[in-house]
Structure 1
Amino acid sequence: MDGYNMTTLMKRLEAATSRLEDLVVVAQGQSSNQWSSNIVGDSVKTSAADTPAMATPGAVATKAPVSDIEPSGSIPASLTALNGKLDTLVELSKAADLLVGEQAVLFKNAAEEANKIVLLASRAQKAEIGSQDFMDLLKPLADKIAAVVDVRESNRTSPATNQLSTIAEGVPALGWVSTPAPADYVQDFKDSAQFYANRVLKDNKDHGEWVKAFLSYLNELKAAVTNDFSDGMKWNANGKPLREVLSADTSSGSSSKASTSAGGPPPPPPPPPPSVETLTAAASKSSTPASGPTGMAAVLADLNKGTAITSGLRHVDRSAKKEAPKAPPKPGGLRKTKPSATAAPPAAVARKPRIELENNRWIIENYVDEHEIVIDADLSQAILIDNCQQCTIQVKGKATSITITKCAKTGVLVYTLVSGVEIINSSNFGLQITGTVPSLTIDNSHDGAVYLSKEALDIDIYTSQTAAINVNIPTGEPGDYDERPLPEQIMHKVVGAKISSSAVNAADK
C-alpha cells in the first residue's frame, strides 16, 4: 500500500472514531439514541469479527447482518424533550449557589440514567420486578439518586439548605421506572419537594425562576410518563433477555473505549456529556450486585407492605432471654455511664449487634442493613432500639413502650403500646402504627415519616428540635394516606405580662 492510501485510511479511521465518541451519549434526542445504539452495536460486531479486514478502507464501513444486531430500542420524544429543561435548571442552580449547581448536575445525571433504563428496557424482554437482573438495571440509577441526596445530608448548615432539600426530596421521582404506577409516584415526590420549594420562595424571593424550573420539570415528567408509561415500564416482547442486554451494553462500552486507542493516532478529546462507558463503569464497579433497594427506599418499601411485612421475618424466641443481675431500668430509659477521665475517644468501629431480653426490656442494637427482625413482646416489656442503620424492625404484641435512639434510615412497625414511642437523635426514620399508641415524642431528629392507623388518630405527638417530620393520615381505601408536615416554627407574642405561643404551619400559608 502506498503512502497516500495509508494516510487516507488513517484519516478515515480517526474520523470514524470521533463520530462514535460523539454519538455514544445518553439522553440525546430520540433519533440520536436510535442512531447511536445502531452504530455502537455495529462497531462491537466489527471490532470482534472484522479486525483482520481493517487494512482496507472499505472494511471500516462493513456492517453486520441485520439478524445479528440487537434491537436498538428508543426513548419517547416526551422524555427527550425534557433535556432542555434540565439544562435550564442546571444554569439557574449554578447562578443561585455553588452547592446547588453541583447538586443540579448530579440530578441531571440521574435523569439521564433513568432515560438509559427506558432505552435498555425497550430492547429487552420483560423482567420480573425484584429479580436480580431488574435490580442490576436499577442500581446505577439508585447510586445517582443517593449522590443527589448526599449533597443535602453533607451540607445541612448551608445557607442554601432549602434549595438542597427541594432537589433531594424531588430526585426519588426519577425512580418511576421501577413502579407500575409512575404518574402517582412522581406526584408524591413532587409534593415533597413543594414543601421546601415554598420555603425557598418565602426566604429567597429572587429564586422564583429556579423554583419554577424545578417544579416544572417534575410536572412535565409526570405528564410524559402518564402519556407513554401509564402502566409502567415498556418492554420489548421480541427483545433479548435483560441479562443479555445488560451484558451487551457493558461490552459495547468496553469496545468503544478500545477503539479509541487503536490505530496509532491520538484520540480526539471526549465530548462534554457522559458516555455509555462512563455510565456502565459505575454499574460494574462493585463486584457484588445489589439485591434490592437500599437506604431509606428499602425502609419505606418494607413499611408500605402493610401486613405482608411479616413474610420472611426472623423470629426471636424466649431462648434469647438474658437475666441481668442489676435492677431493670425504667421503661424507655437509657442507661448512663460515666466516662473515664483518661479514656480515649471511642473509635469508629462497628459494634457487635445483639438482640437480648434483659429482665423486662428488649435491647436491639448495632444492626446494619437487617430487614428481618421481629420481636414478640407483652405488657410487662419495653423495647430499646439503639444505633441501628438501614434496618426494618417489627414489634408484635402489646408492649409497654418503645425508645428509638441514634438510628438512621430505620423503619419500625408497631402494633399496640400502653405508653408510647420516643424517637431521639435519629434521622431518616419511618414509624408505622397499625394498632393504638397513646403518645409519640420526637426529640432532636429530622427527616421522618410516621404512618398512623385509623385507630391511632387520637395520638398525642410532641416534638422538640425537629425538621422535616411528616405524619401520614389514613384516608379512604387501605393504603391511601394524606401526608401532613409537622410545624417547625413557633410564633411568640407578648400578651400583657405573658407570652403566647402558636405553631406556624408552612403548609397552610
Structure 2
Amino acid sequence: MADLSTVLKRLEAATVRLEEIVTGRGTAAAPSQATSSSVASNDAPLPAFIKDFDGLINQQLRTVTDKATAIGGLLGDQAAPLARAFAAQRAFLLVASQSKKPAQSDLPALLKPTQSELEAVVKIREDKSARASPLFNHLSLVSEGIPALGWVAVEPTPVPYIAEMKDAAQFYSNRVIKDYKEKDKTHVEFAQAYLALLTELQAYVKKHHTTGVAWNPRGGDAKAAASAAPAAAAPAPSAGGPPPPPPAPSAAQLEALGGGASKPSPAAAVGNLFAALNKEGLTSGLRKVDKSEMTHKNPELRGTSVVPATEKPGTDTALTAAVAPKAAAARGPPKLALEGNKWVVENQFNATDLVINDPEIRHTIYIYNCQNSTLQVKGKVNAVTLDNCKKTGLVLDSIVSTIDVVNCKSVQVQVTGRAPTVAIDKTDGCQVYLSKECVEGDANVEVLTAMSSEVNVLVDGEGEDGGFKERAVPEQIKSVVKKGGMESLIVEHKG
C-alpha cells in the first residue's frame, strides 16, 4: 500500500507542477505571457477522448482500487501498478492528442512506462507467495485483464483485442464470485467492478479510437513532447494564435517531480489521483481545435494514422509484445519441484523427458507456462492443473478428483488408469486420451467444457482395429426459451 500511496502522491505533485509551468507561475515568463496563457485556457478544453478517459479513471478505476484497498493483502499491493498503468496510458494519450503519429521505431519508447506497469501487475501474480494466497484468483483476474491496455499497439482492430482480454479475465471473475458470493460481498463487488472497467475501456476505444490511437495529424513530434523537460518555460504565444500545448511528462519526470513528497495516508492517497486529474488549470495552454483539423469531420486527415500498405494489416507484433505481456507470458526459470503437497512444474520449454516418480496420493500437480514439453506422472495423485501451456503433453496413471485444463492451446492429456473428471476451460485444441479402464463396467468420465474449441476425447479399445476411437465434444448449443424455463440442446450436423 505504501507503493500505491507514493505513486498517487507523485502524480498529484507532477500535475501541480505542470499547471504552474503552462500558466507561467513556475518559470521566469513575463506577466503578459502568463496572462495570455490563462486567457487561452478558457477556450482550450481537453480533447473529448482525454475527458472520457478521465471519466473512466474517476469512476470505474476508482471503484476497483477502492475495493482492492478494502480487501488488502497482495491485491492491495497490485492496485498500485494498476493505477500507474492507467495513469501512464493517459499520459500517452495526451501526447497523441498533441502529436503526429511517430515512426514505428519511436513507439516502444513512448509505450515503455505503460509496459513497465503491466509487467509489475503480472509479476505480483507470478510471485511464489501469490500461489499460496487465498486471493490468487483475484490476482489472476487483474493480471489476465490488464493487457487490455495494450490496445494502443493494435491496428486496425483494437476493440476485439480488448474483448479477448476481458474474456480471459472473466474465467477468474467467475471463480471469485462463486467462492465469495456467500462469504464477503466486497470480493464479489471487486470482481464485478473490474469487469465493468474493461467493458468501459472497450466502449471508450470503440468510440474514440476505432481503428487505432487517434493521433493529431497537425501536431508536433511525439518523441519530443514525451521527453521534454518539465522545467522548461512555456513559449510565448505568437501574434497569429494561441500558444502550443504543453508537453506531457515522462515516467522519469514524474519520479523526479514527486520524489520529495511525503506519503499520504492510504485513504487519502487513493483519492489524490482523481483529484489531480480534476484540478483547475490542468488544461491551460491547450489550444482549441478548429473544425478543419478534426479527423472525424475530415476523413482525408486520417491518412497519417493508417498502417503503411507494405505492412501486413493487424497487430503490430513488436509493440504488442512490448505492451501486452499476455501475448507472451514472462519466461522465468524452469522449475520441477515438490512444495508441500504440490508439485510445481513451470516454464519448461522444449523439455520432452519430464518425469514425476512415485508421487503420493495426496499430492497435487500444477503445470504452468510450459511449451513443446511432455510430463509423465508415474503414480496416482489427487488433482492436476494444466494452465497457460502450449503444445504440451501430459501422461498420468490415475487421479482421485479432477484434471483441469485452463487457458491452453494444442495440448494432449492421456490417462492410463482412471480419472473421474476432466474440466476444460478457455482452451483451443485439447486431445484427451482415456484408457479402457476409464469406461469398464460402471466407470465413466465426466468431461466439462466452457469457452473451448477443438476438444476431442479418444477412448482406447473402441476403434475398428482395437485402437483409439475419437469423439468430438460439441461446441454449438441451441437454447429454446419457453414459458417458465429454457431448454438447451446440442446442435447435430449431418452431412
TM-score under structure 1 normalisation?
Answer: 0.49
1:240 is matched with which residue? 220
Listed as ranges, the matches of 1:36-435 within 5 Å are 40-43=21-24, 47=27, 50=29, 58=31, 61=34, 74=47, 75-83=49-57, 84-129=59-104, 131=105, 133-154=106-127, 155-180=130-155, 181-205=157-181, 206=185, 207-248=187-228, 272=269, 273=272, 297=324, 300=327, 408=347, 427-429=368-370
1:470 matches 2:394: no
**Counterpart Cα distance in 2 of 1:260 and 1:198:** 39
SS class of match (2:388): strand
503 and 224 in structure 1: CA distance in 2 versus 1, 3 angstrom threshold: same
Write the letter of the residue equivalent to 1:225.
V
- Structure 1's unaligned 5+ residue stretches are 1-19, 27-35, 277-290, 304-367, 370-385, 389-404, 413-419, 432-438, 452-458, 474-481, 489-493
Write the letter of the residue equivalent to 1:25.
T
Could you tell which deviates more after superposition, 186-195 or 267-276? Answer: 267-276
Which of these residues, 25, 28, 38, is aligned with residue 15 of structure 2?
25
Deviations 1:376-415 (A, max 9, x none): xxxxxxxxxx959xxxxxxxxxxxxxxxx987396x8xxx
**Counterpart Cα distance in 2 of 1:292 and 1:233:** 13
**Counterpart Cα distance in 2 of 1:450 and 1:267:** 46
2:293 is matched with which residue? none
Which of these residues, 446, 449, 465, is aligned with residue 502 of structure 1?
446
Please say if residues 73 and 122 of structure 1, whose CA atoms lie closer than 8 Å, have aligned partners that are also in contact.
no
450 and 22 in structure 1: CA distance in 2 versus 1, 3 angstrom threshold: closer
Please say if residues 426 and 446 of structure 1, whose CA atoms lie closer than 8 Å, have aligned partners that are also in contact.
yes
C-alpha displacement of 1:87: 1.2
C-alpha displacement of 1:195: 0.9
C-alpha displacement of 1:237: 1.5
Please say if residues 152 and 164 of structure 1, whose CA atoms lie closer than 8 Å, have aligned partners that are also in contact.
yes
Deviations 1:194-248 (A, max 9, x none): 0111111222213322221111111111011001000100111121112211221
SS class of match (2:409): strand
C-alpha displacement of 1:37: 6.0
**Counterpart Cα distance in 2 of 1:467 and 1:185:** 23
Please say if residues 447 and 469 of structure 1, whose CA atoms lie closer than 8 Å, have aligned partners that are also in contact.
yes
299 and 87 in structure 1: CA distance in 2 versus 1, 3 angstrom threshold: closer
SS class of match (2:211): coil
Identity over aligned residues, as a percent? Answer: 26
Please say if residues 92 and 210 of structure 1, whose CA atoms lie closer than 8 Å, have aligned partners that are also in contact.
yes
Please say if residues 370 and 389 of structure 2, whose CA atoms lie closer than 8 Å, have aligned partners that are also in contact.
yes
Write the letter of the residue equivalent to 1:226.
K
Q: How many residues align?
A: 319
112 and 148 in structure 1: CA distance in 2 versus 1, 3 angstrom threshold: same
Deviations 1:264-291 (A, max 9, x none): xx99998944689xxxxxxxxxxxxxx9
**Counterpart Cα distance in 1 of 2:145 and 2:326:** 18
SS class of match (1:233): coil
**Counterpart Cα distance in 2 of 1:259 and 1:103:** 23
Deviations 1:347-398 (A, max 9, x none): xxxxxxxxxxxxxxxxxxxxx99xxxxxxxxxxxxxxxx959xxxxxxxxxx
430 and 115 in structure 1: CA distance in 2 versus 1, 3 angstrom threshold: farther
**Counterpart Cα distance in 1 of 2:346 and 2:261:** 50
Write the letter of the residue equivalent to 1:151.
I
SS class of match (1:89): helix
SS class of match (1:450): coil
2:484 is matched with which residue? none
SS class of match (1:232): coil
**Counterpart Cα distance in 2 of 1:179 and 1:164:** 25
Write the letter of the residue equivalent to 1:187.
A
SS class of match (1:76): helix
Kindly report the root-mean-square deviation, in angstroms, between the aligned alpha carbons of the 2 structures. 5.2
SS class of match (1:122): helix
SS class of match (1:25): helix
Please say if residues 170 and 195 of structure 2, whose CA atoms lie closer than 8 Å, have aligned partners that are also in contact.
yes
430 and 237 in structure 1: CA distance in 2 versus 1, 3 angstrom threshold: farther
Please say if residues 152 and 158 of structure 2, whose CA atoms lie closer than 8 Å, have aligned partners that are also in contact.
yes
Deviations 1:160-190 (A, max 9, x none): 1111100010000011111112211111100
C-alpha displacement of 1:77: 3.0
257 and 117 in structure 1: CA distance in 2 versus 1, 3 angstrom threshold: closer
Please say if residues 117 and 177 of structure 1, whose CA atoms lie closer than 8 Å, have aligned partners that are also in contact.
no
Could you tell which deviates more after superposition, 86-95 or 152-161? Answer: 86-95
SS class of match (2:100): coil
Please say if residues 126 and 236 of structure 1, whose CA atoms lie closer than 8 Å, have aligned partners that are also in contact.
yes
**Counterpart Cα distance in 2 of 1:243 and 1:77:** 23
Please say if residues 469 and 486 of structure 1, whose CA atoms lie closer than 8 Å, have aligned partners that are also in contact.
no
Deviations 1:441-466 (A, max 9, x none): 58888642537xxxxxxx98758987
Write the letter of the residue equivalent to 1:243.
K
Write the letter of the residue equivalent to 1:502.
E
